[in-house]
Structure 1
Amino acid sequence: MAPPLSRRSLLQAAALAAATPAISHQATGRAAAAVEAPQAAAAAAPPSWTVQPFALDDVALRPGLFADKRQLMIDHARGYDVNRLLQVFRANAGLSTGGAVAPGGWEGLDGEANGNLRGHYTGHFLTMLSQAYAGTGEQVFVDRIRTMVGALTEVREALRKDPAVLSVGGKFGTAAENVRGSYQYVDLPAAVLGGASAVTLSAWVKPTHDGNWARVFDFGDNTTRYMYLAARNAGGVPRFAITTSGPGGEQGLNGTAALPLNQWSHLAVTIADGTGTLYVNGTAVARNTAMTLTPAALGTVANNWLGRSNFSTDPVFAGAYDEFNVWSRALTAAEITELQNNRASAASAGRGNLASYAFDETSGGRFADASGRGLTATLRRTWGGPSHPGFLAAYPETQFIDLESRTTSDYTKVWAPYYTAHKILRGVLDAYLATDDARALDLASGMCDWMYSRLSKLPEATLQRMWGLFSSGEFGGIVEAVCDLHTITGKAEHLALARLFDLDRLIDNCAANTDILDGLHANQHIPIFTGYLRLYDATGEQRYLDAARNFWGMVVPHRMYGIGGTSTGEFWKARDVIAGTISATNAETCCAYNMLKLSRTLFFHEQQPKYMDYYERALFNQVLGSKQDKADAEKPLVTYFIGLTPGHVRDYTPKQGTTCCEGTGMESATKYQDSVYFKAADGSALYVNLYSPSRLAWAEKGVTVTQSTAFPREQGTTLTIGGGSAAFALRLRVPSWATAGFRVTVNGSAVSGTPKPGSYFTVSRTWRSGDTVRISMPFRLRVEKAIDDPSLQTLFYGPVNLVGRNSSTSYLQLGLYRNAGLSGDLLPSLTPVTGKPLHYTLAGTEFAPFFEGTEDPTHAYFRRSEPRVIFGNTDSGVANPAKSDGTTLLDEIWAGAPFTGKGALVSRVRSTVNAWVTAGRLSQADGQTVVRTAEQATYAP
């Protein structure tokens, strides 16, 4: 184990990175042989992992539950237009979007918080495509990855340069388009208005968005002295205004109708002799005869803009410009009418004598002035440009800059920019690992170089404040992604960058096993710990491992719902409060996704079965159940929250789609096979963690392992060895719920030993092709009780959470002891539904697996009610008494299960009744009735 490195020493080491082979920012192909060796290192697991995963393409899903669920997502991945995902990136760079429409929701400018999270979904999609390719080998996924990587490379190149005109068809010839989301405007020289006391301003515009207050032009110094023409005011009509005393002193002109979108409109304003007139398409629509202000009153102003406002919160004009002219006189109505069908140069007015731009340029970022005054205009971005050539995002760098001085969270201004950066980084890194496309690696490395260039300059206190902010400071799993990249590039800056995301308060408290999770945003913090585990791998610093291990134990089971999910309305509440947090916004699906990643990574370090027990629980229930069993070309159909309130109906299209959970849902559905099998680092053992139809190709051993099962509809599985022969230990997970037995045969012969629930059962031998291992693990029906309210329970059959389908919005009152088996199995109290495996009825309600992605109203939790003492469906007529803590007589009796026979059960009944009679909780007569009923009843096994 390497000695721990301090952040300071890592930063110092980064300064020596010149000795490390670097990756060029230019995508010139895999020119450097030095890149090849680190790539091989990326395939090797860290030395600290005593168990290692197999690559996705080593494990093939076979027909069954997981393959069916995956197919729905694979079809979505195959058919969705990736240009829609790229739209926000291209727009941000001022490139043509080809008419593509952004997905909407969180992925676009019109969604929540002005689309301040845009770009994240593209990263998820790239990861999904990479996993889909690994799982299927279909070339279509490679083609789509390369299309996206190529586009992102073009975007980054455009962002590195000054903006260039996007030339489109105009009213008369060519026009200059400002793509919505480009933050571009035309900057005119300060002399453009010339101090005129009379003026005409004329422009052809084609707006493409109906945002209020976007400026056609704005000339001014600030929000006090200005003159503007807005395409739409608050009432949706054009407005001209001039003032030297702020909004309250505006002298204005308002249009009478909205400008049509995606059509050319001519706007003109004249001011002379105290009269101002606004023309739309040659018609005077407003006149003000009391205008005392002219450009002369403004003087020479600092900001002379087409498309940008002096008010920073106003949107940039989205649309195209053709023919902008300024004259130092008021054109007549006839002259303005003549401009409707002619270029200014061909009209009697002629070109503007103060400024005249035809926008005939088809390249570059400069616009010629034809007025004769030489006032060349320049295309600019409102935010200037990136601080580093590696910057890549679907919005300006301003969110990252703002975060550095922000002390409070406001997601309408800064919404988790490093979280979004993580998703993009992870996506391009996965694209590289899947396709070996050097451009993707160049993008990933450049992003980390850019982040390091920003964050390494910040004081430690600033970093701690940033990462502690909800939700502006959320950075997702970026530490894990950066560490993974470091294994490829070997650049010291990249490891140093990962350390810059240390949130010391969280790490130190969790390392000390001090629970501070109450009130924290759940998914902001879960993925952090997978990253810290990777930092432990890279640095050997023990606190990272201790913190991750202890953190996991603070969530499982103390903040875990039966399905494996956690959080309420995205946040954690107090430890051990489950019933008290049931709501319509439980179990954010991202949380389950990230808890699975954390569980498997912890298992690589220490093979505690509880991690894989949890993995099975969350995977077979919440993750599978979060995906609707329905095909859709436009949406992945994945839940955001899974409400656990009675009668909740799952919403598979939350917030118009494209939420974080739909992103992770796409990933989950294309990597179901990632934890079915693990191997010991020394090759001595194969871990079978999950029972799922699949085929493993273990190249190092020269064998295959084929798992045949309909699990969980089948209560067991069969493993068949293929290929050559190899010696290794087969370690079979014995689920903690497998209390009815776990039996193993090899080639038909029973394997000796007593498998213990919640452990791994080992079969060691030299395996030969054709060897068959059969595992039988009978299910039992059981309940799990809410920690803070034992009467609130959820039903499990083996690994499967069974939920009631009932439209009632009150908790169902259910009893389960009436026909419990001698084994303690509660299943005999339910009635199987013919032809529907894992479906049962109880008290008129159908119970079905949570993993079925339907829109039925469901009851994940019910209220346990055992009003009378009943054995074997024989009712004693005696009320079931309870202690002050809620424990009933029947609870104490059945706590003794399993029973070897009826006599053992009756003996338990007799001793329990005697104790309750002695304690005064049950009368002598009622006690005798209870014992007699137990003696007379007939029981299921």
Structure 2
Amino acid sequence: MRDFQAGHVRLLPGPLKKRFELNKQYMMSLTNENLLRSFYLEAGLWSYSGTGGTTSATTTSMDGPEHWHWGWESPTCELRGHIMGHWLSAAARIYAQTGDPLVKAKADYIVAELKRCQEANGGEWLAAFPETYMERIASGKFVWAPHYTIHKLLMGLYEIYAITDNEHAVHLISGIAAWFYRWTGQFSQEQMDELLDLETGGMLEAWADLYGITGDEKHLELIRRYDRRRFFDALIDGKDVLTNKHANTQIPEILGAARAWEVTGDERYRKIVEAFWAIAVTNRGYVATGAGDNGELWMPANEMAARLGVGQEHCCNYNMMRLAHVLLRWTGDPIYADYWERRFMNGVLAHQHGDTGMISYFLGAAAGSKKTWGSPTQHFWCCHGTLMQANASYESQIFMEEESGITICQWLPSELHCDHSGNAISIRLEQEGQHGIYPLNNWSVEGMTAITKVNIPSIPVQRPDSFIYKITVKVEQATTFTLKLRMPWWLKGRPKISVNGTEPEQKVVEASSFFRLTREWLSGDTITLELSKALTAEPLLGEPGTYAFLDGPIVLAGLTSEERVLSGDPSRPETMLAPDRERNHGWWNPGYYRTKGVDHGFRFIPLYEVKDESYSIYFPIQTS
């Protein structure tokens, strides 16, 4: 499978699009001066007036520090500058989807100013901190992750180049690469191995991206130098070198190995990625949200009950979604799209405040958890950066392309416009208004009309246990190709599929598979798909008798500040939970339940709807 170029897929109007727009508004609210301040300081260019290409005569800003960026972007924080890369990456993706010239102009201006900073630094070094940080780590002195911070900048510059065609960005990367090529050339293999045991983030991925552009032997050599052999070789040998280790260090390194395989063809890198997935996911298992980490550390395989603490980290969530998508692209196996969906619904959406757009660094799964929200300019945690990226790139996972046709991997309302085999094709994916899944689709004109008129088909009497999707195909001319539809992991029973009102011949259709429709498509052909779901209970690994509840793909949060024991049959969760507040004016509310037969009962809502409430995900269940 292969991805469509950025901009070929756009979200349809609805709550998910509103989240995207909320993220865009926040991104654009961050001023150029604040994003660039520490880069200016390091280059000796502060305070730059921004007019006439000259610097001011003073070294202080007339803008009071109460308006500056603080937290991890503070001039006193060693990690300062990491947000710049995230911002550039998100800006590139937002521009590709919206074509907003203001986003492009802001990004281009920032790249031009970074160019001025690099020139002032001598033409190579570019960072929000001094070169001496690198010398300190080389001499064994602690610095907070300078490699990690540099990678974020490289990542953002690469995406600005790859998505928006800003040639200046790749020249900046090449200058940084020249500095690192010379710097790392002084170290022996053992010394490099010691350096790579620190938090290097995705430096390997950055060099692989650059080599994919230039084909320069020096950039290939940087790939070799940033190959973390101690870690990678142990993975290939099947050793669990993850448990209790820093997940947000290791996942970016594996993404680097994945990209290294794509640009070099060296099979060893692919084996590293596959070995990592087996140890991190397949053999380890995960909690209901899909997380195998707690507090950024990998939990023991299949023994997670004692590790529910502060919860999953957003950066780990986002980067594991990226890795799942890479493996989907390589293999075409729907299990990776299933994993992506679980972590999207119960990670990306659950970590973001639906009203303010801000981030919760961690997402707890223990009894009485609460989300702690960041602020627009006072925190800037690492997860604040991946918040911007994740909420700028919902669309990139929905459709994929193969020689034989097009695949729908995720059920998110959107529209694809592409050229396939020389034919212009558009595919519109919508959710039927009365079977929508909030927050992807929470109202429709149809839904509002249905509550006032009597001469149209009636809406369901009670909340449906299925989601219905409408897929409309438009083609420039009649053409034959295969449209593949992912049957998700939460599917219950046989899906209902029709093309222009006629049901095609169906073999056995199972969850976690692709259903193929191969035919000559005419403009206006319509597919209707109904996917049944159910309320289910998933056990907690390491604690038999303790369960989380899910409504289809949605993890439910019980609104209680303490552990509560429920009584019933886990194979029949409807013995413990009853539908609650299922209808809201013109739409249904999936995931709303209340307890049955419990003193001081409490409610369940989707984890992604929790804002400031205390909640619990797992519950001991007494069976009779």
Instruction: Tell me how far 1:392 sits from its aligned partner.
Output: 0.4
Structure 1, residues 209-264: CA drift from partner, whole Å, max 9, x if none?
Answer: xxxxxxxxxxxxxxxxxxxxxxxxxxxxxxxxxxxxxxxxxxxxxxxxxxxxxxxx
Aligned to 1:76: 26
User: Does the aligned pair in 1 maintain the 2:9–2:396 contact within 8 Å?
Assistant: yes
Q: What are the within-5 Å matches in structure 2 for residues 755-794 of structure 1? A: 755-794=509-548
CA–CA distance in structure 1, aligned partners of residues 579 and 295 of structure 2: 36
Q: Which gives a bigger RCO, structure 1 or 2 (Cα 8 Å, sep 6+)?
A: 2
* Residue 853 (structure 1) shift: 5.1
Distance, in Å, in 2 between the alignment partners of 1:395 and 1:504 is 28
Q: Which residue, out of 81, 86, 90, partners 2:40?
A: 90
1:66 partnered with 2:3: no
Query: Normalising to structure 2: TM-score of the pair?
Result: 0.87
Task: Establish whether residue 623 from structure 1 lines up as the match of residue 353 from structure 2.
Answer: no
* Alignment partner, residue 684 of structure 1: 404
Shift of 1:60: 0.5
Correspondences of 1:555-634 after superposition (within 5 Å): 555-556=280-281, 558-583=284-309, 585-631=310-356
Aligned to 2:138: 404
Contact 2:556-2:607 at 8 Å conserved across structures: yes
Conservation of the 8 A alpha-carbon contact between 1:566 and 1:592? no
* 1:694 equivalenced with 2:414 (yes/no): yes
**Given the alignment, which residue of 62, 66, 77 partners 1:115?**
77
What secondary structure does 2:13 align onto?
Answer: coil
Q: Is the 8 A contact 1:707 1:718 kept in 2?
A: yes
Relative to its length, the structure with more helix (as a share) is: 2
1:392 partner SS: coil
CA distance in 1, matches of 2:268, 2:162: 30
Q: 1:745 aligns with which of 486, 489, 498?
A: 498
Which residues in structure 2 correspond to 1:532-543 (within 5 Å)?
A: 532-543=257-268
CA distance in 1, matches of 2:494, 2:252: 36
- 1:827 and 1:62 map into 2 onto residues whose CA distance is 38
Q: Is the 8 A contact 1:593 1:668 kept in 2?
A: yes
Return the alpha-carbon distance in structure 2 between the equivalents of residues 555 and 785 of structure 1. 19
Match of 1:729, SS?
A: strand
Q: How many angstroms apart in 2 are the aligned matches of 1:401 and 1:663?
A: 26
Between 841-850 and 621-630, report the one with greater CA deviation: 841-850
Question: Which residue does 1:125 correspond to in 2?
Answer: 87
1:832 counterpart (561, 580, 603): 580
1:691-711 CA-partner distances (Å, limit 9, x unpaired): 010000122341000001164
* Change in 2 beyond 3 A, CA 1:55/1:853: farther
Contact 1:89 1:395 in 2 (8 A): yes
Contact kept, 8 Å, 2:540 with 2:546, in 1: the verdict is yes
- Given the superposition, is the C-alpha separation of residues 827 and 436 from structure 1 closer, same or farther in structure 2, using an over 3 Å criterion? farther
Tell me which amino acid in the other structure corresponds to 2:98. Answer: T
Name the amino acid aligned to 1:56.
Answer: A
Query: Counterparts of 1:857 and 1:482 in 2: how far apart (Å)?
Result: 43
Specify the alignment match of 1:153 in structure 2: 115
Change in CA separation of 1:853 and 1:484 when aligned onto 2, cut-off 3 Å: farther
SS of residue paired to 1:777: strand
Distance in 1 between residues matched to 2:201 and 2:286, nearest whole Å: 20
Secondary structure of 1:796's match? Answer: strand
In the alignment, what sits opposite 1:421?
150
Shift of 1:832: 2.6
Q: Deviations over 1:535-576 (max 9, x none)?
A: 112222222112211211222252522112232222123222
CA distance in 1, matches of 2:541, 2:153: 39
- Superposition pairs for residues 725-740 of structure 1, below 5 Å? 725-740=478-493
Please say if residues 780 and 825 of structure 1, whose CA atoms lie closer than 8 Å, have aligned partners that are also in contact. no
1:483-502 mapped onto 2 (5 Å cutoff): 483-502=208-227
Whole-Å separation in 2 of the counterparts to 1:444 and 1:622 = 31
Instruction: Note if contact 2:43-2:117 (Cα within 8 Å) is conserved in structure 1.
Output: yes
Query: Structure 1 counterpart of 2:428, which letter?
Result: T
- The alpha carbon displacement at 1:499 in A equals 2.1
How far apart are the structure 1 equivalents of 2:328 and 2:579?
A: 39
Matched, 1:705 2:457: no
Q: In the TM superposition, what is the alpha-carbon distance from 1:481 to its structure 2 partner?
A: 2.5
1:247-646 alignment runs, 5 A limit: 389-406=123-140, 410=142, 414-468=143-197, 473-556=198-281, 558-583=284-309, 585-631=310-356, 637-646=358-367
Aligned to 1:14: none
Cα distance change, pair 707–589 in 1 and its aligned pair in 2 (3 A): same
State the one-letter code of the partner of 2:40.
R
1:684-727: per-residue Cα shift (whole Å, max 9, x none)? Answer: 12111110100001223410000011643461211110132332
C-alpha distance in structure 1 between counterparts of 2:96 and 2:574, whole Å: 42
DSSP-derived class of the 2:537 partner: strand
Q: Aligned pairs, how many?
A: 563
CA contact under 8 A between 2:577 and 2:594: conserved in structure 1?
no
How far apart are residue 590 of structure 1 and its match?
Answer: 0.3
Who wins on radius of gyration, i.e. which is larger?
1
Is the contact made by 2:567 and 2:576 (CA closer than 8 Å) also made in structure 1? Answer: no
2:400 and 2:160 mapped to 1: Cα distance? 23
Structure 1 residue ranges (4+ consecutive) displaced by more than 6 angstroms after TM superposition: none
Contact kept, 8 Å, 1:511 with 1:544, in 2: the verdict is no
1:549 and 1:450 map into 2 onto residues whose CA distance is: 32
Query: Any conservation in 2 of the 1:738–1:777 contact (CA below 8 Å)?
Result: yes
- Which residue matches 1:168? none
How far is 1:55 from its partner?
A: 2.0
Contact 1:817 1:829 in 2 (8 A): no
Q: Distance in 1 between matches of 2:40 and 2:222?
A: 27
Flag the 1:697–1:816 CA change in 2: closer, same or farther, 3 A: farther
CA distance, structure 1, for counterparts of residue 138 and residue 172 of structure 2: 24
**Residue pair 1:780, 1:826 contacting (<8 A) in 2 also:** no
Q: Mind listing any 5+ residue stretches in structure 1 that lack a counterpart? A: 1-50, 161-388, 867-879, 881-941
1:842 aligns with 2:563: no
Distance 1:484 1:757, change over 3 A: same
Task: Give the deviation of 1:672 after TM superposition.
Answer: 0.4
In structure 2, how many angstroms separate the alpha carbons of the residues matched to 1:830 and 1:445?
60
The SS at the match of 2:312 is: coil
Cα distance in 1 for partners of 2:349, 2:577 equals 27
Tell whether the 8 Å contact from 1:706 to 1:721 is kept in structure 2 after alignment: yes
Cα distance change on mapping 1:613 and 1:447 into 2, 3 Å: same
